[in-house]
Amino acid sequence: MRSMKTDVRFGDVNWGTLRHLLPHLTEFRLRLSLAMLCLVLAKLASVGLPFVLKHIVDDLDSAGSMGSQLVSVPLGLLLAYGVVRFSNVLFGELRDTLFGRITERAMRRVGLQVFRHLHSLDLDFHLNRKTGGLSRDIERGTNGIAFLLRFMVFNIVPTLLEVGLVVGLLLWNYDVWFAVIVVVAVIVYIAYSVIATEWRTRFIRAANLAESESSTRAIDSLLNYETVKYFTNEAYESRHYDDELARWETARRQNRLSLFALNGGQSLIIAAAMTAAMVLAAYNVRAGAMTLGDFVLINAFMMQVFMPLNFLGFVYREMKGSMANIEAMFRLLQVEARVTDSADASPLQVAGGEIEFRNVSFHYQAERPILKGVSFRVPARAKVAVVGSSGAGKSTLAKLLFRFYDVTGGAVLVDGQDVRSVTQQSLRQAIGVVPQECVLFNMSLFENVRYGQVDATDEEVWQAIRLAHLEGFVKQLPKGADTLVGERGLKLSGGEKQRVAIARAILKRPPVMVFDEATSSLDSESEKLILQAIREISAEQTSLVIAHRLSTVIDADQIVVLDQGQVVEQGSHEQLLQLQGHYARLWALQQRQPRSADSGGAGTVADLTASQ
């Protein structure tokens, strides 16, 4: 099981994830302080409005009963009412504007943190991920951050403070029953909101899950567009996508109905409380215990309390929804990579680039070992090939050298340094890889080559293109090197993508090169050109060549033969033929097979096992 950190949970939502947001509130301390000041001023203006309104009504009532005209005092109060109301709105807008920068920066920081963390996770995580669902989780999570930060800081605590101020003022100035009505209504309202929201959170999570599953299905199908067409499975894909959408529709309907129940209950509590307060106020006015202005003040205070309280119910409900949205994203930050740098890891010091596999054992699943005590050396600046039948574990060696996985036994060393004792960044900077399947970015061919060394000059990129014998192909393209290659390079053939991969490796010029079936998708003529390029760039580098076709590695200084995860033979091409063993049988078999059949066995069972 992949380990994860634990957090405190309340209900069914992990509130401990909020700790990831708190540091972002202190990045702009002055801006935060000014926003809080505006919040306090806005609340003071808000609480003062009903008192100004009370005096206006009482003065107007007195003036009306005396038959006099509007005098200066009510006019001044009216002007004061306008100033106070404008101040309330102004300070609220200033607060939101000041805090907006903090929210946007938090979204940026957390989004970047998640992106970096995903790149830090090991290959096993990415082989098992669902890209569509993952992208939706991140999108919903980053959008939920803005809501959480803004409303948690500027609505929940201030609203409760405002309720406390109103209750205190009612106790000080009026009958205790007004305060009782407010307190009871607030307690019942909050209790109902919490219970009902906890109940309906499961529907929010179900809707999000259904949305992620449908997105995953759609993206997976579109990425495999050609496969769908090959087998005329458009109707099959549409049917499965509709099944996912049907589950989403059901979850959304349940979510909507539960929202109706929540809003209806909240509205009933507020209406009952306001009605009770107004009936009591009207009774006191008729009894002469309160003035008409007091009646207006009580009405304003009830609205003052219950409007933000109603909004508080919305905020709490949406916060729970946002927490359900971002929980999956924050859970990504809790996933711990299985391949990590040790505490005392140091940069790799490359002298000649010698590689050694020392009694290496490895398995993806314990019940199925892939490598069993593999030992061999690749001397500095030498070219060593690893060959064998499909499933022998050849490509797994490259993954262990690049430290996509850690060995389960033995050690992999570069210039005598265990790859587990050096930083992953320095190790991978020292190794260039031409993979069996080159996946390109959806940008120009030129920029895909430059990806091998992002700060390379245009001339250096063109030189790599020429050395990879890619220039002739580039000149045939309508837009030349500026041609977009399509998502994952789908506009290029397998051979063209492999030549781009070789150009990338040439541009990087690392001390150690790994060629993993680098010519598996090339025709005979292109293969000769690429093999010549490999010989040229391998002359001054240590090269580990993983091959299925033996004809591509007959010039290697040494050939290591793998079978069933074990080294069965080692030697040069001529020496291995003389042994009349496993290599000689493979050689004889491939010499009798046509080229198309020979090039079809590039994949390995071990690699398929890794993706399960």
Domain end position, chosen among 476, 509, 542: 509
Residue 508 has pLDDT above 60, yes or no: yes
Average pLDDT over residues 385-391: 85
Q: Are 483 and 562 members of one domain?
A: no
pLDDT of 611: 35
CA distance 106 to 101: 9
Average pLDDT over residues 207-221: 80
CA distance 367 to 361: 13
Top-ranked range on mean pLDDT: pick from 79-93, 151-165, 291-305, 376-390: 376-390
Q: Are 501 and 521 members of one domain?
A: no
Average of per-residue pLDDT values in the chain: 78
Domain end position, chosen among 509, 526, 556: 509
Using one digit for the tens of pLDDT, what is the confidence trace for 28-48? 778 777 877 877 777 777 766
CA proximity to 548, closest of 586, 513, 500, 596: 586
- How many domains, the chain? 3
Rg (CA), the chain: 35
CA distance 601 to 388: 11
Find out whether 567 and 561 touch, Cβ atoms under 8 Å. Answer: yes
**pTM (2 d.p.):** 0.62
Q: Are 140 and 228 members of one domain?
A: yes
Here the CATH number for the domain that contains residue 422 is 3.40.50.300
Using one digit for the tens of pLDDT, what is the confidence trace for 138-191? 777 777 777 777 676 666 667 777 777 777 777 777 778 888 888 888 888 888
Domain assignment present for residue 360? The answer is no
Here the CATH number for the domain that contains residue 88 is 1.20.1560.10
Domain end position, chosen among 311, 334, 357: 334
pLDDT of 552: 82
Residue 8 has pLDDT above 60, yes or no: no
Average pLDDT over residues 74-81: 66
Residue type for position 118: L
Average pLDDT over residues 536-555: 82
Q: Are 487 and 531 members of one domain?
A: no
Top-ranked range on mean pLDDT: pick from 23-37, 44-58, 118-132, 208-222: 208-222
Going by pLDDT thresholds of 50, 70 and 90, the confidence category of residue 3 is very low
Q: Are 518 and 534 members of one domain?
A: yes
Q: Which residue has the higher pLDDT, 103 or 482?
A: 482
Q: Are 500 and 524 members of one domain?
A: no
Q: Are 381 and 291 members of one domain?
A: no
Q: Which residue has the higher pLDDT, 264 or 202?
A: 264
For helices 131-151 and 72-120, what crossing angle results, to 10°? 150
pLDDT of 387: 92
Q: Are 465 and 561 members of one domain?
A: no
CA distance 320 to 37: 27
Average pLDDT over residues 383-391: 87
Top-ranked range on mean pLDDT: pick from 302-316, 382-396, 575-589: 575-589
Say which residue the tokens 């996509």 belong to. Answer: 404
Domain assignment present for residue 348? The answer is no
CA distance 519 to 495: 8
Going by pLDDT thresholds of 50, 70 and 90, the confidence category of residue 53 is low
Q: Are 529 and 555 members of one domain?
A: yes
Residue 196 has pLDDT above 90, yes or no: no
pLDDT of 609: 35
Q: Are 266 and 415 members of one domain?
A: no
Domain assignment present for residue 354? The answer is no
Q: How far is CA 375 from CA 11, 87, 357, 386, 411, in A?
A: 54, 78, 5, 12, 9
Q: Are 317 and 370 members of one domain?
A: no
Average pLDDT over residues 204-230: 78
- Among the ranges given (219-233, 252-266, 308-322), the one the predictor scored with the smallest mean pLDDT: 308-322
Average pLDDT over residues 59-88: 62
Say which residue the tokens 């063109």 belong to. Answer: 462
Q: Are 574 and 482 members of one domain?
A: no
Domain assignment present for residue 116? The answer is yes
Domain assignment present for residue 339? The answer is no
Q: Domain range spanning residue 485?
A: 437-509
Residue 19 has pLDDT above 70, yes or no: no
DSSP conformation letters of 488-522: GGTTS-HHHHHHHHHHHHHHH--SEEEEESTTTT-
